[in-house]
Chain A
Amino acid sequence: MASIRSALSSVVSQAAQDGPGAALVTVAEGRFFSNGLDIEWVGTSRTRLAELIDALRPVVADLLALPMPTVAAITGHASAGGFLLALCHDYRVMRADRGVLYMSEVDLGFPLPPYFVALLRAKITAAQALRDVVLRGTRIRAPQAKEMGIVDVVCPGAPETAAEALMLAEQLAARKWDGAVYSSIRISMFPDACMSVGIVQESDEEKARNFASRL
């Protein structure tokens, strides 16, 4: 998680230098996009579990506040925290041939941390889809995920998924949106989820000042 934060931090610095026209793609090597928090390390330790849950929160915050469009290339299984990571992105591209999205907590006997819930509710808005994800622990393959509104594009395999994600990101980057405005609009779309990870939405006065300066 530290290395993800570090990478995101350098992305933000680079974008600040380069100006508008950036986008992020998150992709993974191997069978897994991410299998979530390291519960093997956690074992039965509640302290360790709390530590990891606390450590993921700022990663989510960094992604939700990122001043550019974000695309997750789901090239393998995405479970629990890994599924959450994919959901933190603006767009999701997923391979059809293998890999599932799986919110495993109900099966494993873990309650969902509040910020997980806030993000799930913000991103999965069809009631039955949300129920299937969190209350039934459904293992969801790409075509079904697309029908549920969770995934945007389905691709045959991993290389196509990565390529499509990059292409989508390039199209989005080409719009040359102002990063600060983009981030602000994203936050205004789900302020509760953002607040749950410590992002404070700007006041209307601050936003209005931005509008006045554009006149």
Chain B
Amino acid sequence: MCTVERRGRVHLITITGAGEHRLGLPLISALRAAVAAARASPGAGALVLAGEGKYFSNGFDQAWARTVPVHLQVAMSEGFRGLLADLLALPMPTVAAVTGHAAAAGCALALAHDTVVMRSSRGFLYMSEVDAGIKIVDYFAELLRQKVPDAATRRDMLLAGAKMTAAEAVRRGVVDAAADGGVEDVVAAAVAAAEGLAARGWDGEVVAEIRKAMWPAVWGKVKDYGGEAAAARPRL
């Protein structure tokens, strides 16, 4: 579901396969394990999350959710919340390489990273909820509020279901940079950006504390679902 590799100081996670990289519990769990591995990896200085093929991620796996009992549907959404917490608490800079379409939860996942590099030639950011008739829960909305502070841009994304190309996303301050070429070129650009951040030699724990302090509202709404929280929870 995802591969993990080291490129210098960068820990690269790639969501594999030619499909939509839908976030069902299996993929979410795999991603959380990969992020935990990055955290534990000695000498890792930065994280990059990328996707293979046409999609970064097209959102929650509703098809999967339809086939499983309610408690697993709940685990899926709680797991995603936990993934966001793990990323926010990660003791190293994070870079999302939006190599293809990023919709709904896939878009939120990208925006949860410190830096976002996006493919110029294809793919868009798309908060599809309004078109799909799905309401947006509080922590999701909080993430968007914090990461897309401009009112008109946030309105266009959430209330108009705008499909934003890399050029427009850069112009409107939603992503940091656009990268030309194919998936591999975008990944390379993201890895280069990540390597530059890793080269700063920051204390990872300090990075995590500063990040959580910068986005306190989001952190507050996801922290109870993260790996740290799980570890700290008393076992009966």
Footprint of B on A, CB under 8 Å? 69, 90-91, 122-126, 149, 152, 172, 175, 177-178, 181-182, 184-186, 188-191, 201-202, 204, 207-208, 210-212, 214-215
Could you jot down 27 A-B contacts, CB within 8 Å? Answer: A69-B159, A90-B155, A122-B151, A124-B151, A149-B150, A149-B151, A149-B152, A172-B160, A175-B130, A175-B131, A175-B161, A177-B130, A177-B133, A178-B133, A181-B129, A181-B134, A181-B135, A182-B159, A184-B136, A189-B155, A189-B159, A190-B145, A207-B135, A207-B136, A208-B77, A214-B132, A215-B66
The 4 closest A-B pairs by CB, nearest first: A188-B141, A207-B135, A184-B135, A125-B151
Report the bound CA distance from A210 to B62 in whole Å: 13
Q: Are A125 and B150 in contact (CB under 8 A)?
A: yes
Q: Contacts of A90 on B, CB cut-off 8 Å?
A: 155, 159
Cβ–Cβ < 8 Å partners of A215 in chain B: 62, 65-66, 73
Which residues from chain A contact B150 at a C-beta distance below 8 Å?
125-126, 149
Interface centre among B139, B144, B151, by most chain A C-beta atoms within 10 angstroms, is: B151
Chain A interface, DSSP helix/strand/loop, else mixed: helix
In contact, B159 and A202 (Cβ under 8 angstroms): no
Tell me, rounded to whole Å, the shortest Cβ–Cβ distance linking A64 to chain B: 12
Q: Which residues of A contact B145 (CB under 8 A)?
A: 189-190
On chain A, the residues within 8 Å of B66 by CB distance are 215
Q: Contacts A149-B151, A212-B70 known; A185 to B138 CB distance under 8 Å?
A: no
Within 8 A of A (CB), among B61-86: 62, 65-66, 70, 73, 77
Chain A: minimal CB distance from B86 (Å)? 20
A211 CA to B158 CA, complexed, in Å: 16
Minimum CB distance partner of A69 in chain B: B159
Instruction: Indicate if B149 sits at the interface (CB-CB under 8 A).
Output: yes
**Alpha-carbon gap, A149 to B152, bound state (A):** 7
Q: Is the CB of A189 within 8 A of B141?
A: yes
Contacts of B70 in A (CB 8 A): 212
Is the pair A212, B135 in contact by a Cβ cutoff of 8 Å?
no
A194 vs chain B, min Cβ distance (A): 11
- A91 to chain B: closest residue by CB: B155
**Nearest-CB distance from B171 to chain A (Å)?**
13
Q: Are A211's CB and B134's CB within 8 A?
A: yes
Cα separation A172 to B70 with both chains bound (whole Å): 35
Provide the bound-state CA to CA distance between A201 and B137, in Å: 10
A65 to B62, alpha carbons, bound, how many Å? 28
